[in-house]
Structure 1
C-alpha cells in the first residue's frame, strides 16, 4: 500500500508485444492504423493499450507500445516494445530485433539459439494472429520481430547475462500482468537460475542474500556467474526448489543477521516476516548479555566467535531440513557469514 491506496498493477513485456503485434497486423492486412488496441490476457482480462509508434514499408508494418509496469520497480518500465510483422510461411515464427536477447544456454523455457521470447508471450501473439486471420480470411502465416530500443543496456540490470541470454532483454510474462514488488517473480528468477546451472552440469551453486556476500562467496570458491543465485530474502524459495531439482553442493552466504535467522529455522529472511531470537542467540554464544543486543552485528562484537557459531548452527539446520533431496540424493551445504564490509565472520561446511 502507498498512502493508503493500492499499488497500481502494470503489464508485462509479453502483453505489450502481443498488443503491438495486433496493431501492426491490422495495418499490414489492409486496415487503418489503430490509436489503441485491446488483447485478451491468459486469465481473461482485456486491457487496452495506446499505440505510440507506427511505421511501415514494402511488405511490413510495425507498431510500438510503451510498457507501463504500474508501481513495480521494473527495469523495463517505460521501454518501447515494438513488433514488426511481415508475411511468413508455415505458421507464426519469431525473430529477435534490436534489444531482444538470444538464448545461448540450456535450462530455460526456450531452447538455445532462439529469441528470448518466453512461451506465454509467444502463445499470446499466436492467438492474436489466429484471431485476426480468421476474421479477415487470411492464412495465419506471419513472421514477428520483437524489438526493444535500448534493451541491450537494460539487460545489464537483469539476470539475463548470468542466464546466458545475450544481446538484450527477455520478453516475459505468464499472466500478462505485473504485480507490484512481486515476490513470486523474484522466486521464479531463482528457479530459472537453478535450471540453467543444472543444465550446464554445474555441481556447485551459491545463494546469497546480497551483493556483498555474493562477491565474497564467488571469490572464495571461484564460481562462474551462472552458479550464483540471487537468493535475497527468499532462502525457502531457493531451498525448496533445490530439494526437487538438486545440485550436489550449495553454498549459502549472507550477513550475520540473515544467517542467524536461517540458523533459528526461518527461511523467509525479510525483516517484516522473521526476527532474531536474541535469547536463543545468547544461549548459542554462551553469553547471557547478548540477549540485550539490538542487532546480530552488535552481538558479534560482544562475542568474537559468534559468526562461526552461527555458521555451524545454520549448517546443521540446512543439513537436517534440506540435506536430502526428494529423489534421495544428498546435498552438501556450506555456509559463509560476513559483516557489512565483506569480512568473513564464520564458515562451516
Structure 2
C-alpha cells in the first residue's frame, strides 16, 4: 500500500500594481499615436529592472487622443482593485514633459500632508516616474520633441475608493495609482501600512495634536464618543499597531491614543507589534500572572488559564473584583511608551465586543 501523501499548497501568485497598469496602458496609447501600431500586449520595465508583459483589453484612437486599457491582476492578494479595468488616455502636447490628469475613478489630493501637493491627481511618485521614463524612451526612439498629457482612469474607481482609506486621507473622487516595486506581493499589506503612515502624516500636517489609532469600527466609535475626534484624527490601524508606533517615532504627535478589543490589547501588552492571529496569540497564563499581581488568588488564576477566550478570562476577573482590563492596558501602555519618543503622551483603551470600555491606562 502506498503511503498517504498530503497535497502541498500552491505558492501564492504575485500581481502587478495599478502603477504598472497605468504605465503599460500609457505606453501602448502613446505608441499608437506616434507609430500607428496597436498591440495586444505591451512590455514594461519595473523599477528593479524586471521586464513584464501586460495584456491589453483595447488600444484605439478616440478623436485626437489614443486610449488603452488593461484589467488589474493583483494575483492572490485580496486587493480592492483586482479585476478592475484601468485605462489611460494620451494626448500629444507641443511642449516637452508629462502632464498628469485624474480621469474617471482616480482621486485628487485635497489635504496637505501627503507626498503629492493639494490639487494633484493621486498618481504616486513611482508610477509617475515609471510612466515618464517609458514615454520619454518612446519619444526618443520616435524622434518626437513634444510632450504628453496622461489621463489615468479606473472604471468604478469612485465606488471602490470608498472601501479604502482615501476619503479619510482627503483623496477624493477615486482611487490612488500606487506601487513602489510594480509588483503586488500577496498579503504583504504594504498598501495598508502605507495608508496608516499617510493618515498620521495628514493629521499631523493639518495641525491635529491628538490622534487615536483604532483596531476596527467599534473602537473608532468609542473614540468618537470619548473624545469627539474628527475623521482625520482617527487612524484605522487594524492589526498593525507596530506601523503606528514606529511611524510616530518619525512623526511625534503630541498625544496618541491606542484603542482596541481586549484580546488585541492583551497582545500589545505582551509586546506584539502585529495583532493578527497569524502572528500573535493571547497568552492566558500571562493574563493570569497579571491578575495575580493585582490580587487574584490561585483559584482565579487557574480559571483564567483554563478560559476559552480572553473575554471569558476578563469576565472571570471582573466577577472577582479584579481590574484585569486596567492591568492589561497598563502593560500595553508601558510597551508602547518603550517604542515611541518620550515627548509623546500615550494612552490605551480596551473595549468589549459592544464597544464598552473594559480597561484604560495613561488617560489624562
| Length-normalised TM-score, structure 1 | 0.94
Shift in Å at residue 200 of structure 1? 0.9
Structure 1 position 24 matched with structure 2 position 43 = no
Contact 1:100/1:168, CA 8 A, preserved across alignment: yes
Structure 1 position 80 matched with structure 2 position 85 = yes
SS at match of 1:39: strand
Question: Which among 195, 200, 203 is matched to residue 189 of structure 1?
Answer: 195
Contact 1:218/1:224, CA 8 A, preserved across alignment: yes
Contact 1:70/1:180, CA 8 A, preserved across alignment: yes
Contiguous gaps of at least 5 residues in structure 1:
325-329
Contact 1:205/1:228, CA 8 A, preserved across alignment: yes
Structure 1 position 299 matched with structure 2 position 313 = yes
Task: Give the aligned partner of residue 174 of structure 2.
Answer: 168
Task: Give the aligned partner of residue 327 of structure 1.
Answer: none
Q: How does 1:112-261 map to 2 (within 5 A)?
A: 112-261=118-267
SS at match of 2:257: strand
Contact 1:323/1:333, CA 8 A, preserved across alignment: no
Q: How does 1:38-77 map to 2 (within 5 A)?
A: 38-77=43-82
Which shifted more, 310-319 or 174-183?
310-319
Task: Give the aligned partner of residue 346 of structure 1.
Answer: 359
Contiguous gaps of at least 5 residues in structure 2:
1-6
Shift in Å at residue 50 of structure 1? 1.1
Structure 1 position 308 matched with structure 2 position 339 = no
SS at match of 1:47: strand
Query: Structure 1's 185 and 149: CA in aligned 2 closer, same or farther, altered over 3 A?
Result: closer
Task: Give the aligned partner of residue 319 of structure 1.
Answer: 337
Task: Give the aligned partner of residue 267 of structure 1.
Answer: 273
Shift in Å at residue 323 of structure 1? 4.8
Write the distance in 1 (CA, Å) between the matches of 2:115 and 2:340.
26
Task: Give the aligned partner of residue 348 of structure 2.
Answer: 335
Q: Runs of 4 or more off by more than 3 Å in structure 1?
A: none
Write the distance in 1 (CA, Å) between the matches of 2:123 and 2:68.
17
Task: Give the aligned partner of residue 101 of structure 2.
Answer: 95
Shift in Å at residue 318 of structure 1? 2.3
Shift in Å at residue 224 of structure 1? 1.4
Write the distance in 1 (CA, Å) between the matches of 2:326 and 2:194.
32
Contact 2:38/2:60, CA 8 A, preserved across alignment: no
Contact 1:217/1:336, CA 8 A, preserved across alignment: no
Contact 2:211/2:257, CA 8 A, preserved across alignment: yes
Shift in Å at residue 240 of structure 1? 1.1
Write the distance in 1 (CA, Å) between the matches of 2:136 and 2:157.
28
Contact 1:96/1:102, CA 8 A, preserved across alignment: yes
Query: Structure 1's 125 and 321: CA in aligned 2 closer, same or farther, altered over 3 A?
Result: closer
Shift in Å at residue 321 of structure 1? 3.8
Which structure has the greater CA radius of gyration? 2
Shift in Å at residue 148 of structure 1? 1.1
Shift in Å at residue 132 of structure 1? 0.7
SS at match of 2:60: strand
Deviation track 1:108-130 (CA, whole Å, cap 9, x = no partner) reads: 11111100000111111101111
Q: How many residue pairs end up in the alignment?
A: 343
Deviation track 1:223-274 (CA, whole Å, cap 9, x = no partner) reads: 1112122212211121011012110111101111111111122222222322
Shift in Å at residue 195 of structure 1? 1.1
